[in-house]
Amino acid sequence: MEERKIRLLIVDDEVRFLDAIAERLVMRGLDVRKASSGEDALELARTCKFDLALVDLKMPGMDGMQLLKILKQEHRFLEVIILTGHGALESAVEATKLGAYGYFPKPYEIDKLLESLREAYETRMRKKFRADEERMKQIEQIGTGQSPLGILRALRELDDGEK
């Protein structure tokens, strides 16, 4: 059975940098998609499922913080790492408060970046596993002692709560 590749969205307005980092990560076995703006990234994220996102902080239009906030709202288990050449402690703290997994400076060291991506992916999988376990417990509880119609209603409510 083939191992599933980590699905990564990279967002950066510097197209040469975007192409270079994407190529390096593809060569290391990641499934990479690119976006050169926050708006393009949101469109991609709404049509493709990603495990991780690597997002530039400073971009024209929608910046990395705005994109981070929306991605975390719309994609519960997506882990986001902010990548920036304009690092400051304040923006790192803000990114963390908004749910960023990490904050990585440019220029980056590929091995350290890969390690951070692996750790973010493991964190994502643990969160997803715990959520799936909790959902299974809820489904087991629903299935006991109710009429079939009551079970269907309860499952619909549970499903609506997941959205």
**Residues with Cβ within 8 Å of residue 119, at least 6 apart in sequence:** 101
With CA atoms as reference, report the closest residue to 74 among 96, 40, 46: 46
Residue 57 belongs to a domain? yes
- What CATH number does residue 41 fall under? 3.40.50.2300
3-class DSSP state for residue 151? helix
Residue 137 belongs to a domain? no
* pLDDT for 113: 93
Instruction: Report the predicted TM-score, pTM, of the whole model to 2 decimal places.
Output: 0.84
- 69 close to 98: Cβ distance less than 8 angstroms: yes
* pLDDT for 14: 94
Which of 78-112 are b and which e, b meaning 16 or more Cβ less than 10 Å from the residue's Cβ?
bbbbbbbeeeeeebbebbeebebbbbbeeebeeee
**pLDDT above 90 for 124:** yes
The confidence band for 2, taking pLDDT boundaries of 50, 70 and 90, is low
Give the helix ranges, DSSP H, for the chain: 15-27, 38-47, 64-74, 89-97, 110-142, 148-162
The confidence band for 129, taking pLDDT boundaries of 50, 70 and 90, is very high
With CA atoms as reference, report the closest residue to 53 among 15, 21, 14: 21
Instruction: Please indicate whether residue 3 or residue 93 has the higher confidence score (pLDDT).
Output: 93
Dump pLDDT digits (tens) for 58-99: 999 999 999 999 999 999 999 999 988 776 777 888 898 999
Going from the C-alpha of 5 to that of each of 35, 81, 161, the distances in angstroms are 19, 18, 29
DSSP code of 116? Answer: H
Residue 146 belongs to a domain? no
3-class DSSP state for residue 31? strand
Which domain range does residue 97 map to?
7-129
Instruction: Please indicate whether residue 108 or residue 124 has the higher confidence score (pLDDT).
Output: 124
* pLDDT for 108: 82
Residue 55 belongs to a domain? yes
Residue 158 belongs to a domain? no
Least confident of 1-15, 26-40, 131-145: 131-145
Total domains present in the chain: 1
Stretch 31-54: mean pLDDT: 97
What is the distance between the alpha carbons of residues 118 and 111, in angstroms, rounded to a whole number? 11
Stretch 8-12: mean pLDDT: 97
